[in-house]
Amino acid sequence: MSFSHDPRQNYLLAALPSDTHAAALFPKLELIAMPLGMSIYESGRPIQHAYFPTTAIVSLLYETEDGDSAEIAIVGNDGVVGISLFLGGGTTCNRAVVQSAGYGYRLPCQTLKDEFSHDGPMQRLLLRYTQALVTQMAQTAVCNRLHTLDQQFCRWLLLSLDRLSFNHLVMTQQLIANMLGVRRESVSVAAGKLHEAGLIDYRRGHITVINRPGLEARVCECYSVVKKETDRLLSDICIP
């Protein structure tokens, strides 16, 4: 089946008025494939591009010196990867890795910095998105500390589904374990419980959600906190 790519499949880009200076950056956007496991950027290394996912999802991960990792947030068609570029950084202490394969658009870092400095629609959208992302990071920390793995897994699934146009994910147990900061065996147990409850179908890294209301009934409050704040901050974004 053919698929038509459009930068406006990313909600931030779709929200830019066509008659503003910000719309002039569209010709500078480069469509790229984002395969599963692709490293977008590494901790401490200069960031060359900002990435606006359209059908892919990117996981922001913190990795310890001994190689352990845990997810701090996810970015999909709701946002942009590389906020340190316009916040005055240029590097970051976390990694960004594609957790769900798809496509997105990348923009040279200087182009984004220049557009942000114009004090226009793009700047306002990026600042509001950044607040939504900070909320997600904070709530993820709370969830990982206080809630069960079963609840964390449900939160992760629902946040991922919100950033996809379908109900299917392709993820290995090891990658999910890295996201949640747990052992692979623990993921197998958590996925098995959801499968037995008739909420998901899970086979060899393929996850299909078959009962979303059931997941929403099972998840902790962290999911609704993140969703409500994101919806509030980005309420004027037109979904493509």
Task: Return the CATH architecture of domain 7-143+227-233.
Answer: Sandwich (2.60)
Whether residue 1 is predicted with pLDDT greater than 60 in this model: the reply is no
Q: What percent of the chain clears pLDDT 70, i.e. is strictly above it?
A: 95
Q: Mean pLDDT across the stretch 98-120?
A: 91
Question: Residue 67, class by beta-carbon neighbours within 10 Å (0-12 exposed, 13-18 middle, 19+ buried)?
Answer: exposed
| pTM for the predicted model, two decimal places | 0.90
Under 8 Å between Cβ of 41 and 47: yes
Under 8 Å between Cβ of 126 and 134: no
Q: How confident is the model over 16-65, as pLDDT tens digits?
A: 887 766 667 889 999 999 999 899 998 888 889 999 999 999 999 988 78
Q: What percent of the chain clears pLDDT 90, i.e. is strictly above it?
A: 50
Under 8 Å between Cβ of 9 and 76: no
Q: Please give the Cα distance from 115 to 138 (Å, whole number).
A: 28
- CATH 1.10.10.10 in the chain is located at 148-224
Give the pLDDT confidence score for residue 240 in this predicted structure: 39
Q: How confident is the model over 160-213, as pLDDT tens digits?
A: 999 988 888 887 777 788 777 788 888 888 888 999 999 999 887 788 999 999
Closest CA to 171 of 200, 196, 132: 200
- CATH 2.60.120.10 in the chain is located at 7-143+227-233
Whether residue 239 is predicted with pLDDT greater than 50 in this model: the reply is no
Q: What is the CATH number of domain 148-224?
A: 1.10.10.10
Q: Please give the Cα distance from 152 to 32 (Å, whole number).
A: 31
Across all residues in the chain, what is the average pLDDT?
87
Under 8 Å between Cβ of 58 and 112: no
Q: To the nearest 10°, report the CA torsion of 118, 228, 50, 27.
A: -60
Whether residue 88 is predicted with pLDDT greater than 70 in this model: the reply is yes
Give the pLDDT confidence score for residue 204 in this predicted structure: 76
Tokens of 174: 């090891």
